[in-house]
């Protein structure tokens, strides 16, 4: 990784891609959180992989902020050389939870996006295989991990 400290990394990322970032902060040593703009998330992800060495996708998940009317998709990425961990966050409107699939950058995100699609209703455009992973294929009961989920067959 070109930067030696967390702050230097954030500064370099902001200088190199200011139009793609909504926010960034140091969480602790070797841990940084970056909030990407939904429209530029693939471009930023590609830069994180190619320019900054975040070649190891660790995990991903979603959070439902029902009172704020938004969801957040979070990707956990690691630079294996420096052991630097990055949380790449993308805010999505709750009434339009869609974004481009990260499988174009890290194929290993496929299962994580399938789970977020199934449990939160986030649509991943360009995902090669959005199909049920945990729920039955004929599930019609809503999105179980949304905070306003009422149970199978009951509309919120």
Q: Considering only 28-32, 72-76, 136-140, which range has the smallest mean pLDDT?
A: 136-140
pTM for the full predicted model: 0.92
Q: Is residue 22 part of a domain?
A: yes
Residues 67-84, mean pLDDT to the nearest whole number: 96
Find how far residue 154's CA is from the centre of its chain: 28
Is residue 150 situated within a structural domain? no
**Domain enclosing residue 10, as ranges:** 6-125
Report how many domains make up the chain.
1
Average pLDDT, the chain: 93
Say if 59 falls within a structural domain.
Answer: yes
In the chain the beta strands, taken as DSSP E runs, fall at: 21-28, 31-36, 56-65, 70-79, 84-93, 98-100, 123-125
Per-residue pLDDT at 65 exceeds 80? yes
- The mean pLDDT of 103-111, rounded to a whole number, is 96
Three-state DSSP at 128 gives coil
CA distance 117 to 10: 30
pLDDT at position 138: 86
**Alpha helices by DSSP H, 51-151:** 110-120
CATH code, domain with 33: 3.30.460.80
Residue 80 has pLDDT above 80, yes or no: yes
- Whether residue 55 is contained in a domain is answered as yes
> Is there a domain that residue 132 lies in?
no
Query: Is 138 part of any domain?
Result: no
Task: Give the separation between CA 93 and CA 122, rounded to whole angstroms.
Answer: 10
64: in domain: yes
Measure the CA–CA gap between 105 and 97, rounded to whole angstroms: 20
Instruction: Determine the pLDDT at residue 152.
Output: 65
Specify if 141 maps to a domain: no
């Amino acid at each position: 990784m070109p930067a030696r400290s967390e702050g230097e990394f954030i500064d370099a990322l902001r200088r190199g891609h200011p139009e793609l970032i909504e926010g960034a902060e140091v969480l602790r040593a070797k841990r940084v959180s970056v909030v990407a703009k939904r429209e530029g998330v693939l471009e930023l992800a590609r830069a994180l992989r190619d320019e900054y060495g975040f070649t190891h996708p660790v995990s991903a998940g979603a959070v439902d902020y029902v009172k704020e009317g938004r969801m957040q998709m979070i990707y956990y990425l690691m630079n294996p050389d420096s052991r630097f961990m990055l949380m790449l966050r993308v805010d999505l409107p709750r009434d339009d939870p869609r974004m481009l699939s990260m499988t174009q950058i890290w194929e290993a995100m496929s299962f994580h996006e399938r789970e977020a699609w199934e449990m939160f209703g986030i649509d991943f455009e360009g995902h090669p295989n959005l199909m049920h992973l945990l729920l039955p294929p004929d599930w019609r009961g809503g999105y179980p991990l949304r905070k306003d989920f009422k149970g199978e067959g009951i509309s919120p």
